[in-house]
Amino acid sequence: MLPLDDISAAINISTQAALQGDPELAAVRDRIHQLDPTGMRFATVLRDTIDQLLNGEVTGRYDWKTLFKTEKTHAGTLVEINLQREFEFDDGIDMDYRIAGIDVDCKYSQQFGGWMIPPEALGHLCLLVWADDSKSLWSAGLLRIRREWLNGGNNRDLKLTIKAEHRNKIIWLWHNAELPENVLLHMSSRDRELVFSHKSGQARLNELFRLVQARRIGRNVVRTVAQQKDYMKRVRGNGGARSALQKEGILIMGDYASHQAIAAKLSVPVPREGEFVSVRVVKAHPGDESHPRVELDGTWWKPATPDDPYEPGPLLPKHTSLH
């Protein structure tokens, strides 16, 4: 068996050869990377599409497995639509999109390798997308479809799948990248039951931010837990979770630049757009300078340990001066 470094080198050589041999594929790859250098826009579309299907605000669902078969079937269409809206891809002539002036078909599968390739895609480029909410992973790659790389089609519309031994021909834009976490799916069943044991949406949100600390919580998770149209009001101060949990020393940081800076100072995950991160803090004392800390309201604060007593925390303004 080859060492990992040798395998990586072989993959890179294979990728470069494929790109050199297919200038259209290289042009499409470069254009997508230009539009989304980190993959965060792509990942957000996938997160939002899964949440759109779950429709937690209305249904209370948080698990892909609870979707109806028809909803799962519709996922591919929604991914195609939402990617086109996000990146403003032109309509294709024969395929779904036109990227860098080249026709590209888009295929999504929740099962890795399960992309269904229609006969009309033969010879064309396909954007192959996969996401698994239970693994918090996603991938997207490009492949020029060749008949000899496909399994025979037995279904009525003659759609084909890519042979497992030829998946190494896929030129990955991002492979096994991090999908923004669905906290409700991945928190412990005990904590989840505790959150949903409360009758009011406000009490459920308070419990969520109390139990799930130092982890990014997406807006759709908040919406699912609150199950109220004014769910954002339930997070803010003036009666929301921020003011309710302040007495316990729990800060709830959002995607304001000042909140992001506070999270970074406290060495907890920095909330991205549409995300929240909670953390319990206590006053820092002399000698704590080596620990993560931040100055708020003229006092230094640090993340609490389980042994630290509870004490009221500082106000968390939208804009604050940090030291």
pTM for the model: 0.87
> Look-up: residue for tokens 């993560």?
292
> Look-up: residue for tokens 């999908």?
179
What is the rounded distance in angstroms from the CA atom of residue 204 to the CA atom of residue 209?
9
Angle between helix 201-211 and 189-196 (nearest 10)? 150
Q: Is the pLDDT of residue 293 over 80?
A: yes
Distance of CA 272 to the CA centre of its chain: 10
At residue 250, the 3 state secondary structure works out as strand
Which among 34, 28, 163 is positioned nearest to 97, based on CA atoms? 28
What is the rounded distance in angstroms from the CA atom of residue 31 to the CA atom of residue 28?
5
Q: How many other C-beta atoms are found inside a 10 Å radius of the C-beta of residue 252?
A: 27
Which secondary-structure segment (H or E) carries 59? Answer: helix 56-59
What is the CATH number assigned to the segment(s) 4-178? 3.40.600.10
Q: What digits encode the pLDDT tens for the residues 83-141?
A: 999 999 999 999 999 999 999 999 999 999 999 999 999 999 999 999 999 999 999 99
Residue 77 in contact with residue 85, Cβ under 8 Å? no
Q: What digits encode the pLDDT tens for the residues 63-82?
A: 999 999 999 999 999 999 99
Burial code (b: 16+ CB inside 10 Å, e: under 16) for 90-118 equals eebeebbbbbbebbbbbbbbbeeeebbbb
* Domain at 183-303, CATH from 3.40.605.10, 1.10.10.10, 1.10.540.10, 3.40.50.80: 1.10.10.10
What is the rounded distance in angstroms from the CA atom of residue 62 to the CA atom of residue 184?
6
Ranges of beta strands (E only) in the chain are: 90-91, 97-99, 102-109, 125-132, 137-144, 171-178, 217-218, 250-253, 275-283, 294-296, 299-303
What is the rounded distance in angstroms from the CA atom of residue 279 to the CA atom of residue 113?
39
> Which whole number is the average pLDDT over 210-221?
96
Sketch the domain layout of the chain as residue ranges: 4-178, 183-303
Per-residue confidence band for 286, with pLDDT thresholds at 50, 70 and 90: confident
- The first and second tokens of residue 24, run together, are 């259209």
Identical fold for domains 4-178 and 183-303, yes or no, is: no
What's residue 321's pLDDT? Answer: 42
What is the rounded distance in angstroms from the CA atom of residue 14 to the CA atom of residue 7?
11
Which stretch of 15-19, 55-59, 220-224 has the lowest confidence by average pLDDT?
Answer: 15-19
Handedness of CA 313, 314, 317, 319 (dihedral sign): negative
Q: Is the pLDDT of residue 4 over 60?
A: no
DSSP secondary structure code for residue 151 in this structure = P
Residue 64 in contact with residue 135, Cβ under 8 Å? no
DSSP secondary structure code for residue 40 in this structure = H
What is the rounded distance in angstroms from the CA atom of residue 292 to the CA atom of residue 299?
14
